[in-house]
Amino acid sequence: MTDPVVGLVLEGRYRLEERLARGGMSTVYAATDLRLHKTVAVKVMAEHLAHDPTFVDRFTREARAAAMLSHPNVVGVSDQGSDQGLVFLVMELVRGRTLRDLLSARGRLTVAEAFAVLEPVLAGLTAAHRAGIVHRDIKPENVLIGVDGVVKVADFGLARAVVGTGQTSQTGGVLIGTVAYLSPEQLERGRADARSDIYAAGIVLFEMLTGHPPFGGDTPLAVAYQHVHHDVPAPSTEVPGLPWQVDELVARTTRRDPAGRPIDAGGFLAEMNDLRKDLGIDPVPVPTGHSSAGPDTLRPTNRPTRPRPSDRHPSDPGTAVVGGRSARGGRTSMLPGMGAGPTTDVHGRRPQPARPRPGVPDHIRRRRARLVVAVIALMAITVGAVGWWLGMGRWTDVPALAGKQQDAAIDLLQGAGLDPDPVVAEWSETVPEDEVISTDPSSGEVIRGTDVRVVVSKGPERYEVAPDLVGKPVEEVEAALENLPVQVTRAEDYDDDLPPGAVIRFDPAAGTPLKRDQVVTVVVSQGRAPVAVPDVTGQQPDQATANLQALGFTVERIEDGRSDTVDKGEVMAVDPAPSAGPVRFGSVVRIQVSAGIPLVTVPDVRGKTGDEATQILEAAGLRVEATRFFGNSVLRQSPAGGETVERGTPVTILLSFG
């Protein structure tokens, strides 16, 4: 019957051309990208799941997880959307087959071929693990082998980004995945990390070497029980002749305790490459459907076999020389008359085969009865689980997380089947750092798998001024402070060490936690503080000059003067005067040295009366010594009038009759 979806054009761009594969959750089509004119693969979610938020979320998550990766061994996802009631994502189209198809056709692979397939798988997983993504569903169906031999990992629908504790949670509260490849921790706790992918890859390696998974059973529960309680057997028990080192590699990667496995796919890949070198295994092309086994290797097959006569030609592709005799690997099935006993009796005749009794044998009846009981039990469990899920099982309560540490809160959310996505950090003056401030939704019942927005405190919002800004030019400092949400003001102060314009300090001090919009004062240097001019009058010029220069002044000596109080040769005056107060550091100070007492011109007082002459001479700063001779008129004087003498010089006058 024609697929009604074929021929549709999604979002006006992707025309579905051909159905390639169908699964329980989705169908893959080859499509044409009408915009870029290239062929792509479009995965369309099954119609009955398109209305379930849990599965739509898983489908969207596949697009996000794969889009985060860009690696040649990971199937690229380029677009995702919904149109005409169809939820879809657009992927790279890989022409070829899956590893499941190859194993179905070939049975099993040689060690070299298994390594050739697994190496690119681990390379793609390494890129995912280093990006914080866990695949959670590694199996042969999700390993694509192109016709050109390129191996790619597909289907990140179960992948989750690592958050919180580094483990992934259940998908919507229901364990989804192929039970034959699930790790014990996924089966027991529903959580997975990179080491869970290592376990699944180890199971795939076992299957490539033996032709079948290590555990089987009538029900998924039986298989899960064996994963949890039994170690994976050595592949050599199924295929005699495999190197014991290969057994050890499988054992290390499939340990039930995750701590015993390689930490991620990169560790697994490194161990496998070391083993390849130790065993001297040359690289071979990735098998794409034709065996590359030579005449001295085990031919991959999972068909029941039996021992062959030792005279079989060694080139028989169904046999290999093991321990000096021909044997066929795999499980041995012994049929009546085909190696189960002697082919002739003692008389050389073939024995008559035993005739079965009429009717169905008892052991077959018992087996059928057990199968019917198992099917009924499985149906009852399935119906009950579906009913529980559709009723109350798909709902869960949002735990109260306010005030809890981030890691503890994420554990509680994942334990309730919810996803902490996204986790947002915000400042808080009241909630300590790394504690939850709020969640959205904050409480109530929601569907399992719902994303819960978690707001975590970064603590009080504080900023700091870098201490190394001290001493730098104020323009550079203010430009740097523009990046901080604080208010900047400027002040000035004197500093003996920093030049003018350099930042002396901050108020509050640099390194102090600052709140948003807090005022920060930048104190800028005005240079050295003003200096008081000392009183150096009465000092010798050299001594006065040295004293002033020690304080940073520049000293200039001006023309000598005369002073009544300062002796000749001593400083008589300073400019600026000490009484004028402090002056700028480095200012010029002028000094004047005394040349002696001031000079005056002697007045001519001849003919004056004695009293008049005395008054005139004293007014000129001279002392009077009078000699009277029968009269009161100045007859002579010495020094004579008009002479220049020092102030205070005595002038002798002779009084007589005029």
Whether residue 505 contacts residue 523, with contact meaning beta carbons closer than 8 Å, is answered with: yes
C-alpha dihedral, 193 to 199 to 201 to 205, nearest 10°: 170
Helix (H, G, I), strand (E, B) or coil at 407: helix
91: which strand partners?
41, 77
Give, as one character, the DSSP assignment of residue 7: T
Give the CA angle between residues 192, 42, 157 to the nearest 5°.
Answer: 10
Residues 6+ apart with CB under 8 A from 655: 610, 626, 627, 628, 629, 631, 632, 633, 634, 635
Find tokens 């009546």 and name the residue.
336
Q: Which two tokens stand for residue 656?
A: 């007589």
Helix (H, G, I), strand (E, B) or coil at 405: strand
Question: What Rg do the C-alpha atoms of the chain give, in angstroms?
Answer: 53
**Sheet harboring 96-98: ordered strands across?**
96-98, 143-146, 151-153
Half-sphere CA count of 29, side-chain side, radius 13 A: 25
Q: Which two tokens stand for residue 338?
A: 């085909």
Q: Which two tokens stand for residue 167?
A: 């483990």
Whether residue 75 contacts residue 94, with contact meaning beta carbons closer than 8 Å, is answered with: yes
Kind plus residue range of the DSSP H or E element containing 625: strand 623-628
Q: Which two tokens stand for residue 319?
A: 């046999």
Q: How far apart are CA 183 and CA 227, in angstroms?
A: 7
Q: How far apart are CA 179 and CA 107, in angstroms?
A: 21
Classify residue 627 as left (phi > 0), alpha (psi -120 to 50) or beta. beta
The verdict on whether 278 is a catalytic residue reads no
Q: How far apart are CA 275 and CA 479, in angstroms?
A: 59
Q: How far apart are CA 101 and CA 98, in angstroms?
A: 5
Classify residue 75 as left (phi > 0), alpha (psi -120 to 50) or beta. beta
Q: How far apart are CA 597 and CA 583, in angstroms?
A: 31
DSSP line for 544-608: HHHHHHHTT-EEEE---B--SSS-TTSEEEEES-GGG--B-TT-EEEEEEB-SSPEEEPP--TTS
Helix (H, G, I), strand (E, B) or coil at 531: strand
Q: Which residue in 122, 117, 133, 118 sits closest to 69, CA to CA?
A: 133
Half-sphere CA count of 180, side-chain side, radius 13 A: 16
Whether residue 453 contacts residue 176, with contact meaning beta carbons closer than 8 Å, is answered with: no
Half-sphere CA count of 451, side-chain side, radius 13 A: 15
Which amino acid makes up residue 561?
A: G
Counting beta carbons within 10 angstroms of the beta carbon of residue 124, is it exposed (0 to 12), middle (13 to 18) or buried (19 or more)? buried
Give, as one character, the DSSP assignment of residue 532: P
Annotated catalytic residue within 79, 83, 137, 274: 137
Give the CA angle between residues 382, 387, 391 to the nearest 5°.
Answer: 150
Give the CA angle between residues 141, 144, 150 to the nearest 5°.
Answer: 160
Residues with catalytic roles: 137
